[in-house]
Amino acid sequence: MKIQEEIENLKKGLKEAVKEFEIKPIIKEQGVVESIEEGIASVRGLPNAMFYEVLKFENDVNGIVIDISDKYVRAIILENKTVNINTPVYRTGHIMSVGVSDELLGRIIDPLGKPLDEKPKIKTHTYYPVERDAPAIFDRDFVKEQLYTGIKVIDTMFPIGKGQRELILGDPGVGKTSIAVDTILNQKDKNVICVYTAIGQRKQNILDVYSTLKKYGGLDYTVIVSASSDQPLGLQFLAPYSATAIAEYFLDKGKDVLIIYDDLTKHAFAYQSLSLLLKRPPGREAFPGDIFYIHSRLLERACKIKDGGSITALPIVETQAGRISSYIPTNVISITDGQIYLDTNLFNINQRPAVDVGISVSRIGGKTQIPALKEVARFLRLYYTQFLEVEIFTKLGVKVFGETAQIIKRGKRLRELLKQPKQKPYQVEEMIVIFFLLNEGYFDNIPQEQVNDRADFILKAVKEKNPYILADIKTSKVLTKEIKEKIKEFVGKL
């Protein structure tokens, strides 16, 4: 009897569940692959497809719509998998986006957000579109605070502000990536999130960057977005936009973000190849007509937000034989707020970092320097430029006297002080002390080859015996008369 009651209750429950159950049809718009060539698929039968919409091909392969015509749409295949002709393609209705969360920190991902480091899957509940309008002018604030690279020549002569876009350019193998990596390492304990984007690089180069960041503790606050040279052109094109979307996630949380694009030359070549495959009309140097726009709409997303965070962009561009007047370098120079040019000749004579002081410039960063740094750095570039102009006389065997001899003496010592090994960042207080002593003539009578050793000895002694000097500079941000006297008195006793 009890069993019969249970059966009747079960029947009743099932009948009620069936009444409440509602079948909703799922409508999918399906197309067919008409042709495919070098990672570009032509698809017919998707009249409502949107630009940058994600399409699903066979074997769960993703693609994004990059071109729309009245007969068909063309999509970039984003994975190294085979897509066959006459196979179905489905619309997803989703514009290309990347999953974002704090779990991205310390990870290597591809532009689709998939982990590449064999660690656990990244949990993301929020998605940011890879293409997003740059913040409106009314939402932006002035660049007010300096982002310190830890590199003496840059922080003193070509300061970079939080929210600025500063280009790094030079020939292959002159240390462009090293400057970017050292800048990331210098953000340790400075509450700055870093995003490093590798575009078209060899896998070994990307692993080297990863190993360096891991060794020196820079990986904890860094996301690496990798689209190596063996990955599809579509991923290489997408990489900087995905990386910027990740940076915008942290920006919206009120964080300061540093993003590195390494490098935009390879990004331009990837887009050039895609455009030629799409049979778009080639222009100068076979680049498509909108090559400027793909970089301007990317870099305009770097900014300082009112009462919020910032995105500081350091794009890298590669030159050939020092030709900064070629197409891509001039394009990016005109978009950014300054450039740091690395010269091959300086690199070959062991001037590291090989920054060309004459060509490099920072158009807005000078306003961000604290008064103490601005005071000691005010005339450094002038001194160095004057030194380079008169140094040629000594190479010709001409004897120089008086003021010219003094310019050469101090210029040589300044050049030595600007040399700096990799992974050895200097704090701003340390730079202020060293260049204050240079301006005071302290290094004038020290042999040129001993200048850096003497500077390091002074800084070590200050840290160990009188750290209050550095603390006072850091707190007051001004090189007061009392601080100057303390520095002179302390160094005079060494």
Q: Which residues are catalytic?
A: 363
The HSE-up count of residue 272 (CA atoms within 13 Å, CB side) is 15
Per DSSP, 203 falls in state H
In our burial notation (b when 16+ CB lie closer than 10 A, e otherwise), range 353-384 reads bbbbbeebbbebbbebbbebbbbbbeebbebb
Query: Two tokens at 54?
Result: 């994600």
User: How many Å is the Cα radius of gyration of the chain?
Assistant: 28
> For the chain, what's the residue count?
494
Helices (H), ranges, 419-480:
428-439, 451-465, 468-476
Residues 6 or more apart whose Cβ sits within 8 Å of residue 282? 275, 276, 288
163, 311 contact by CB (below 8 A)? yes
In our burial notation (b when 16+ CB lie closer than 10 A, e otherwise), range 100-112 reads beebbebbbbbbb
Cα 323 from Cα 190, distance rounded (Å): 36
Query: Two tokens at 473?
Result: 């500079």
Cα 238 from Cα 267, distance rounded (Å): 9
> C-alpha 299: how far from its chain's center?
10
3-state secondary structure of 384: helix
In our burial notation (b when 16+ CB lie closer than 10 A, e otherwise), range 113-138 reads beebeeeeebebeebbbbbeebbeee
Q: Which residues pair with 259 in a beta bridge?
A: 195, 313
Helices (H), ranges, 305-427:
327-335, 344-348, 371-377, 380-395, 402-418
Cα 166 from Cα 422, distance rounded (Å): 20
